[in-house]
Amino acid sequence: MTAQGQLLTELRAALGGAGVLTDPDVTASYRRDMMALAPHGEPLAVVLPADVAQVRAVVRACARAGVPIVPRGAGSGLSGAANAVDGCVVLVTTKLNAIEEIDPDNRLAVVQPGVVNLDLRTAVEKHGLFFPPDPSSYDWCTIGGNLATNAGGLCCVKYGVTTDSVLGLEVVLADGELLRTGRRTVKGVAGYDLTKLFVGSEGTLGVITQATLALRPLPQAPATLVAAFGSVEAAGAAVSAVVREGLVPSLLEIMDSASVEAVEAYLDTEVGPPGECAALLLAQSDSGGAVAERELAAIERICADLGASMAYTTTDLAEGRMLLHARRVVGPALEAYGAWLTDDVCVPRTRIAELLGECRRISERHGLRIAVAGHAGDGNMHPVIVYDPTSAAELAVARTAFDEILAFALALGGTITGEHGVGRIKQDWLARELGPTGMRVHRALKAALDPANLFNPGAMFTSPPPRD
């Protein structure tokens, strides 16, 4: 029996035949995530463990065989971090989907990685609690993927990204041992913060099998503001003024004219005012009552002072949901024009207008549609490059535009990713951002926890050869 055959026999013995998929027609759907430009390989097998013991058995079997493991959730990622490499075992965590505990008194939940983000949010709402991270794919992405990429979403300006809601983890290490990090207490500084090390590690250090998550009291029903500007500079100045005045809305989003145009065509309704709109700001306050009124009144005043052609506040929940839906469907709306490639950069909030202006120039220079929408409250922008996937030349130009946006974001003092991660699309850019010393430390951590380079090799950065 070949080494591969022996490994498959061990995997089937541990998981049962239904838990090990090898039919290429079936495994094809597990080869890659949503990032079209990221490379992917052909897996030897796809495994779907049903409990932690099975995860440990898979890791140990692969370690003995020297076969790499690529952990994967629902596949909603946008960086290629869950993409297969040739001959690997793709370890899918979607069957580990139990909400094991909700503790209202301590405001925490204990969940497995396959729990869908929206399902967790719905479950804790019944206890008057709130799980803040809300990526755009929150209705189908899983908590494991959120943890692996340190996902964000629209509420980051007030509530932070995923790591800000994580108290502790359970992780299967490269030798199959089970590591527990963090704690259930509000405070705790014993030892290194291993929890934050694993959050955002993109499956390169271990397989997360459980998370203890901090919850918040359920916010009040939000009030919503929308403001339109004749220039991106004025919209950017409004964002800076909101931050400068110490206002912390629960949501502060921006859409440029290309985004607004696409969404209005997609929804067949007006989102901004009639006529030209260079940028649209969308804000919400979930503070409730008079506090929310004061917050949005202050933001509305700022927008008016900076020349907004329209500033409108509503407490109608249906109207607020409609406006928020318009922001969330920017990606699907752009599909009408071709395939889309989403960039994910974060810049200082005072430099948002410069980034939007440069994206417009890159669009004009290359003759490609580039629409920008993003989380203005924390400077995390998502330029979306639209291209013809049947044209090799246009795909090459799209790649060039993608890189030019990354370079400009770094030049503004920003970062190459605010929430999507590095994956298999930005390894070279990570090295530029971190520098030689930063990369040396990253590789040392990887080698210490995964000396055989077993977990997700090639994701985030290229590791050195395994130790003898």
Q: What is the per-residue pLDDT across 131-171, written as a single tens digit (0 to 9) for each? A: 999 898 889 999 999 999 999 888 889 999 999 999 999 99
Residues 261 and 379 both lie in one domain: yes
In a domain, 8, yes or no: yes
Q: What is the mean pLDDT of residues 96-111?
A: 98
199 and 322 share one domain: no
373 plus 237 within the same structural domain? yes
Q: Which of 255-259, 266-270, 459-463 has the highest mean pLDDT?
A: 255-259
Which of 383, 411, 439 is where one domain is finished? 411
Task: Tell me how far apart the alpha carbons of residues 60 and 90 are, in angstroms, rounded to a whole number.
Answer: 14
Final residue before a domain boundary, out of 217, 242, 261: 217
CATH, residue 302:
3.40.462.40
- Domain ranges, residue 323: 223-411
Apex 432 CA angle, 253 and 255, nearest 5:
15
Same domain for 269 and 357, yes or no, is yes
Domain presence at residue 463? no
Distance CA 225, CA 220 (A): 16
Q: Are residues 286 and 386 in the same domain?
A: yes
pLDDT, mean of residues 233-255: 94
The confidence band for 95, taking pLDDT boundaries of 50, 70 and 90, is: very high
pLDDT on residue 370: 97
CB atoms within 10 A of CB 317: 12
Residue 467 confidence (pLDDT): 53
pLDDT tens per residue, range 377-391 = 999 999 999 999 999
- Residue 40 belongs to a domain: yes
Distance between CA 142 and CA 412 in Å, rounded? 33
pLDDT for the residue numbered 136 = 85
User: Is 365 found in the same domain as 231?
Assistant: yes
DSSP codes, 216-249? EEPPPPPEEEEEEESSHHHHHHHHHHHHHTT---
Same domain, residue pair 39 and 79: yes
The answer for residues whose C-beta is within 8 angstroms of residue 159's C-beta and 6 or more apart is 132, 133, 165, 216, 250
Question: Could you give the number of structural domains in the chain?
Answer: 4
Question: Which residues, in sequence order, are CB contacts of 456 under 8 Å at separation 6+?
Answer: 68, 69, 70, 71, 81, 202, 203, 204
Residues 68 and 155 in one domain: no
Give pLDDT, residue 5: 86
Domain boundary among 72, 92, 112: 92
Range in 64-68, 196-200, 288-292, 462-466 the model is least confident about:
462-466
In a domain, 46, yes or no: yes
67 plus 180 within the same structural domain: no
Query: Is 361 found in the same domain as 328?
Result: yes
Residue 331's nearest CA partner among 322, 343, 345 is: 343
pTM above 0.85, yes or no: yes
